Amino acid sequence: MSEPRDPQVEQLVAEIQRRVLLRLQGAGGQTAPLAAAPLREQPCQDGPSENCSACGLCAVRRPEAVRTLAAEGASRIGSAEGTGRAADDIAAMIDHTLLKADATSADVQRLCDEARKHRFASVCVNTSFVPQARRLLTGSGVMVCAVVGFPLGAMAPSAKAFEAREAVRAGAEEIDMVINQGALKSRDYALVHEDIRKVVEASRPARVKVILETGALTQEEKVIGITLSKVAGAHFVKTSTGFGPGGATVEDVALMRRLVGSDMGVKASGGVRTCEDATKMRAAGASRIGASASVAIVAQCQNKASEPPPGPGPATSRPWLNKAKGSAGKPAAPATASGKTGGY
């Protein structure tokens, strides 16, 4: 049983909720964006190159177009000041995931082999498989992520904290915890905050992602859950477990990014199964993708990048869009799914 509610905490959360909702609601009840994100974080809406606004940020706003140019022979592209670090690859955003209850050691072996091969950001497993994953991935640069309080999130804060501490001791570098959805819906915000804070403290130095299960929440509950995750010191907010109702949506990812700004990561998980899905989530603001279909996603992105471009259109006065040629007039050199899947 939780402690009696603190009126001051209730008042603080109510004020946070009021201010956030005021900023989200425009005239006539229409949703309005918060402070505009930096241009590099906004998806490009210019369409064909003839309509290009020449912002110089294609490396981060239109990475698929850049990959197509590289496949066509371009060895270098121009980039404007403020571009920042561009993602090397969709794969570098992916947490390769296996969370089903009947997963075997052989499945985890295959998961880790695929993560090494494709250079995924991490593998995400249940805590019992953390030692094996750590052993298989040592020296690979691929992190081990463990889920805590998964998939319901209805455990006591001390139980989640213990599970997180043991996972980190076994080698986990990131922890994905499930929020206490019942407490959130009961407006017991002190318990929600305590739950997240205890896991964050127990997991140090590992980073913590808070899974909100957005498909089960109202817009108000999403706003409060995201805000409490940030206040409690989490490093990421995450859409879904993959075992609950619904999955990641572009709208939820965009809401998360608007509320956390650049201070936290945003992880899209649940139903992300194609290259197109992953690209849309990244454009909406996701910095990490949770998927069990990771190998298929990467294969689709690679195939898409290697497809020949459409035939030449009308001549333009933009010679810099032409692909680079070698001295001999030739283009310069261009810069299997697992058995059981996770719930993602």
Q: What are phi and psi of 88, to 5 degrees?
A: -65, -30
Which domains, and CATH codes, for the chain? 35-86 (no CATH), 90-301 (3.20.20.70)
Say whether 238 is catalytic: yes
Q: pLDDT tens digits, residue range 63-102?
A: 665 454 334 322 233 333 333 333 456 788 899 999 999 9
pTM: 0.68
- Confidence (pLDDT) at 83: 36
Point out the catalytic residue in the list 176, 188, 195, 252: 176
Mean confidence (pLDDT) of the chain: 80
- Confidence (pLDDT) at 7: 76
For the cut 90, the answer to whether the pLDDT of residue 154 exceeds it is: yes
Percent of the chain with pLDDT over 70: 71
Q: pLDDT tens digits, residue range 3-55?
A: 567 777 778 888 888 888 787 776 444 544 445 566 666 777 665 444 555 56
Point out the catalytic residue in the list 95, 267, 277, 280: 267
Q: pLDDT tens digits, residue range 126-147?
A: 999 999 999 999 999 999 999 9
Tokens of 47: 């369409």
For the chain, give percent helix, strand, coil, nearest 5.
45, 10, 45
Q: pLDDT tens digits, residue range 166-201?
A: 999 999 999 999 999 999 999 999 999 999 999 999
Could you tell me if 104 and 125 are in contact, meaning their C-beta atoms sit under 8 angstroms apart? no
Contacts of 17 (CB under 8 A, 6+ apart): 220, 223, 224, 227
For the chain, how many helices (H) and strands (E)?
12, 8
Distance, CA of 288 to chain centre: 2
Point out the catalytic residue in the list 238, 252, 277, 280: 238
